[in-house]
């Protein structure tokens, strides 16, 4: 597909990289020529220097022949204007990045009235991931399928766990809970395990299960799920902290935000009356000690500087047993960061990219299923996709054991109405089902793409 991205910042660059990997024809518009040159030297994109809201610039970028225009600048209003112009000048699909909390409750109205294909808020999407993780303090990452009824959870197996040395074929009989292990990260290796595979302490495991079964699995594996999060400190009073605090308002979790800018503190106090707002430097050790960093249940390091967030998490790891959440915007050193013990890594740019890649794949689809949900897992080395089966195809009506699947692909879950099925060889996919597939192969657009 021909895709135009307006804005060559962190979100735009991340998105360009991911869409380039998908094989699309990418053009990036930005006012700063040096940013465009840096990006085009790294990946195969065409750069157009200019104002993305200018008709002449969009025409130069090929808006008349474009399938999608994605506006990712730092200005919400400019993004909306870019999309409006693209609709008139090219009649393509449009996606706008909208971040301001003032627009949060008006998202649906903005999308419908301006005829936008998709509106995405990176910080709000990241905050939703934080809220999911807080439900399972022992989890490193939690993604959801089937509108929240099924969860894909990433954990590290601790020493002394019942999972250490357990073969997958023995799991159901010994732990009395039916889950499906999708991926195992063992050192540098990424493995798609099968029945005789034995888990080891230190493995990073992603498994899929309904919520209640996931809780049972945590107990069986030795995780302390009774230690629910009752208090959280958020360092940095930016948009992400606001959205996290807003999502937690309906819970009994006490929220404290530490922010250095006094005016921002005043604004947060008005918007978040239930939260405690502290005006101070979140990197000041004395202030952190005074605010109870050593006894709090969870800490979100959400400043605008990746290095600050990493250092804060490393410091907190040494003095606290809190659940750590570390915001990282850059993906350049993903492998290095993954090796640090800094809790759950939250990357708003990658989350945004996943949403948009899912939308693009759905547009690309011409067969019998749609991509409903997409997550990158295992540092982006594998994908978990949810397909809705719309029409009869080669996969419908046959037991899974009779399907000739490509290597390194697992059918992880089938949702039939309100019933969640962790499948076995006799399970059958029917029209209307939601099917979750985990794959090392990238670029699956349709459920039939899993067949060899």
Task: Grade residue 212 by pLDDT with cuts at 50, 70 and 90.
Answer: confident
In this structure, the chain runs to a length of 452
Is 361-450 a domain of CATH 3.30.70.1450? yes
* 263 vs 279: CA distance, rounded Å: 9
% of the chain at pLDDT higher than 70: 96
Question: In 347-432, where do the E strands start and end?
Answer: 369-377, 382-389, 409-416, 419-421
Topology classification of domain 231-346: Rossmann fold (3.40.50)
Using a cut of 0.85, tell me whether the model's pTM lies above it: no
Task: Grade residue 313 by pLDDT with cuts at 50, 70 and 90.
Answer: very high
Task: Grade residue 223 by pLDDT with cuts at 50, 70 and 90.
Answer: low
Residue 183 is predicted with a pLDDT of: 92
Structure tokens at 359: 């939308």
**pLDDT (tens digit, 9 = 90+) per residue, 348-372?**
988 888 888 888 887 766 555 577 8
Residue indicated by tokens 């730092």? 74
Question: How confident is the model over 250-258, as a mean pLDDT?
Answer: 92
Nearest CA among 238, 246, 254, 255 for reference residue 302: 238
Fold match between domain 2-120 and domain 361-450:
no
**CA end-to-end span of the chain:** 24
Helix (H, G, I), strand (E, B), or coil: what is residue 214? helix
> Looking at 1-5, 73-77, 199-203, 223-227, which range is the least confident one?
223-227
Is 2-120 a domain of CATH 3.40.50.720? yes
CB atoms within 10 A of CB 286: 9
- Domain-by-domain residue ranges, the chain? 2-120, 231-346, 361-450
Strand partners, 210: 150
Strand partners, 326: 301, 345
Largest Cα span, the chain: 66
């Amino acid at each position: 597909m021909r895709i135009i991205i307006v804005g060559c910042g962190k979100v735009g660059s991340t998105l360009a990289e991911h869409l380039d990997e998908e094989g699309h024809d990418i053009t990036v518009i930005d006012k700063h020529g040096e940013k465009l040159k840096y990006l085009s030297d790294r990946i195969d994109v065409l750069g157009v220097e200019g104002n993305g809201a200018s008709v002449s610039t969009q025409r130069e970028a090929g808006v008349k022949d474009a399938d999608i225009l994605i506006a990712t600048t730092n200005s919400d209003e400019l993004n909306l204007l870019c999309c409006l112009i693209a609709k008139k000048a090219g009649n393509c699909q449009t996606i706008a990045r909208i971040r301001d909390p003032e627009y949060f409750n008006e998202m649906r109205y903005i999308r419908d009235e301006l005829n936008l294909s998709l509106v995405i808020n990176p910080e709000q999407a990241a905050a939703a991931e934080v809220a999911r993780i807080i439900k399972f303090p022992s989890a490193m990452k939690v993604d959801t399928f089937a509108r929240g009824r099924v969860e894909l959870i990433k954990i590290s197996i601790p020493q002394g766990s019942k999972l250490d040395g357990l073969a997958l074929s023995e799991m159901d009989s010994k732990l009395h809970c039916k889950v499906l292990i999708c991926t195992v990260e063992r050192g540098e290796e990424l493995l798609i395990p099968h029945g005789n595979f034995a888990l080891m302490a230190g493995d990073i495991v992603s498994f899929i299960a309904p919520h209640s079964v996931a809780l049972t699995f945590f107990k069986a594996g030795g995780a302390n799920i009774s230690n629910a999060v009752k208090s959280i400190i958020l360092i940095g009073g930016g948009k992400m902290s606001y959205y996290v605090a807003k999502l937690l308002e309906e819970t009994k979790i006490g929220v404290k935000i530490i922010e250095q800018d006094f005016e921002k503190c005043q604004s947060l106090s008005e918007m978040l009356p239930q939260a405690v707002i502290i005006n101070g430097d979140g990197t000041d050790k004395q202030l952190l000690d005074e605010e109870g960093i050593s006894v709090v249940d969870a800490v979100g390091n959400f400043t605008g500087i990746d290095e600050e967030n990493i250092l804060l998490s490393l410091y907190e790891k040494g003095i606290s047993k809190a659940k750590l959440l570390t915001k990282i915007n850059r993906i350049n050193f993903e492998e290095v960061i993954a090796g640090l013990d800094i809790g759950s890594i939250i990357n708003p740019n990658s989350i945004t990219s996943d949403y948009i890649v899912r939308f693009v794949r759905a547009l690309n689809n011409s067969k019998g299923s749609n991509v409903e949900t997409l997550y990158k897992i295992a540092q982006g080395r594998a994908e978990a996709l949810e397909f809705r089966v719309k029409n009869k195809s080669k996969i419908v009506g046959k037991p899974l054991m009779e399907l000739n699947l490509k290597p390194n692909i697992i059918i992880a879950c089938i949702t039939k109405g309100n019933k969640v099925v962790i499948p076995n060889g006799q399970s059958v996919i029917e029209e209307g089902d939601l099917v979750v597939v985990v794959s090392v192969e990238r670029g699956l657009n349709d459920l039939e793409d899993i067949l060899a």
